[in-house]
Amino acid sequence: MAKRNKNKGSSLNIGGFNLASPKDRRRLQSLTVELKLQAEALTQKDMRSWRQAWQRAIDIENPRRQSLYDIYRDVEVDLHLSGCVDQRKGFTQKKAFKLVDAKGKQNEDATTLLEAVWFKDLVGYILDSRYWGHSLIQLGDVVTVDGEMRYNGVELVNRKHVVPEYGVIVIEQGDDWTSGVPYREGPMADWVIEAGKPKDLGLYLKAATQTIPKKNMLAYWDQFGEIFGMPIRIAKTSSRDPKDRTQIEGMLSSMGAAAWGLFPQDTDIEIKETTRGDAFNVYDKRIDRANSELSKGVLNQTMTIDNGSSLSQSEVHLEVFENVVEKDADLVKDIVNDQLLPRMLKHGFPVKGLHFEWDESIDYTPEQQLAYETMIADRYEVDPKYFIDKYGVPIIGKKASPTPPDGGASKLSAPTGGVEGAAPFFD
């Protein structure tokens, strides 16, 4: 009778479970399976929402992208995905550029017009269209700062108000496109830039298939860690005094920080380590697979952001990545030449007859520059105007027998360390 009363009144509550109850102990043991099933159920629900939003976006009669863009906002906060996107965008944004005439000669004054914050923002919005799909960018007012013309900024038109399939902007989200204002014709046409094709939904559409299950896996892994991540503390006592049981319960709850406790006599304390090792396979492996798929989707490879297995493989992956960057660069180039420069010309910018190119020239160190110029001047007839313009030296004629610097030009050789293709040029 005493034993029955003792068991009836005893309790040890951890994480909402009474470990003194055989029923609760069985529930705790099966919790991993329950969490897995919950994650799968929530993922299925989220994927249904994604499919429904996708179908609304491609509706022929009345395309609506609002709910799809809400999903994209959730997709965008994935840290691995944002790292892939930033890496890909950064390689394009750091490329040098120039405005050249029909003969390929750079117009430095015109190039300076694009070396401004508004143009950097424009390039960023253009590159974002790879992920969000069609983007409409509005040019700001033309202003003059220190005698130089520029736009006072660029702004992304809220995507939820744009219906690119029909080229209109609606006043209220969800309005029928027939009530929208056209932006491809009329006065608005000269002040907006389109990036991406009208029906393009961007890479985030595909990325959602990985970020949704990954998000749920992370959430339920956290729940798993709360229950199984710390050792379970079990106390057994022969005391029937409710005050002793209350004291024991308080001691157990504070042992996580104190690592010690003072218990009544005849109290046995057991620290039971968890042996559940399947969390790694259930959660971590799925998350790794999601990250790998995201890398492939955005970068077309994995080794420039994930760990690689060999130098040769990493070199192949780097080449693939460079091809992706070149495609992005071509997108920016085409939009600038086909849309931006014609609008700048209409707004009074001095860009007539010029077109945009990426500057692929090699940047030399001062030592490399000196060596190359010396060898060129020693072997070929060079227009003195090059040195006059570059160094401001008033060259008035040629010496009969010039004295090579440092004891002779023959001692100079092509610099090493990164000037590809130099040797054939001078042979």
- pLDDT, one tens digit per residue, over 350-381 is 999 999 999 987 666 677 777 877 877 777 77
253 pLDDT above the threshold of 80: no
Question: What's at 290, amino acid-wise?
Answer: A
- Lowest-pLDDT range of 15-24, 46-55, 177-186, 382-391: 15-24
Residue 386 is predicted with a pLDDT of 75
Q: Which of the two residues, 347 and 286, has the higher pLDDT score?
A: 347
Q: What residues does 236 pair with on adjacent strands?
A: 268
Using the 8-state DSSP alphabet, how is residue 356 labeled? E
Q: Which of the two residues, 278 and 382, has the higher pLDDT score?
A: 382
Q: What is the mean pLDDT of residues 287-311?
A: 77
Structure token pair of residue 378 = 């020693």
Structure token pair of residue 79 = 């840290």
Closest by CA to 20, choosing from 30, 31, 10, is 10
Give dist(CA 50, CA 205) in Å, integer.
9
Residue 329 is predicted with a pLDDT of 95
Q: 150 with 143: CB under 8 angstroms?
A: yes
Q: What is the mean pLDDT of residues 21-48?
A: 67
Query: The whole model's pTM is what?
Result: 0.69
Residue 9 is predicted with a pLDDT of 45
Residue 105 is predicted with a pLDDT of 93
The distance between the two most distant Cα atoms of the chain, rounded to a whole number of Å, is 123
Residue 405 is predicted with a pLDDT of 54
Give dist(CA 358, CA 340) in Å, integer.
15
289 pLDDT above the threshold of 50: yes
Residue 226 is predicted with a pLDDT of 65
Residue 388 is predicted with a pLDDT of 76
120 pLDDT above the threshold of 80: yes
Residue 422 is predicted with a pLDDT of 40
Per DSSP bridges, beta strands 148-151 and 142-145 are antiparallel
Give dist(CA 154, CA 131) in Å, integer.
19
Q: What is the mean pLDDT of residues 267-289?
A: 67
Q: 255 with 293: CB under 8 angstroms?
A: no
Q: What does 302-326 look like in DSSP terms, one character per residue? A: STTTS--S-HHHHHHHHHHHHHHHH
Give dist(CA 271, CA 273) in Å, integer.
6
Give the CA distances from residue 391 to residues 61, 384, 385, 388, in Å, rounded to whole numbers and listed in that order.
Answer: 64, 11, 10, 6
34 pLDDT above the threshold of 80: no
Residue 320 is predicted with a pLDDT of 81
- Lowest-pLDDT range of 3-7, 67-71, 89-93, 249-253: 3-7
Structure token pair of residue 236 = 């057994």
pLDDT tens, position by position, 128-180: 999 999 999 999 999 998 889 999 999 999 999 999 999 999 998 888 899 99
Q: Which residue has the tokens 């405005």?
A: 99
Selection from 170-174, 235-239, 273-277 with the highest mean pLDDT = 170-174
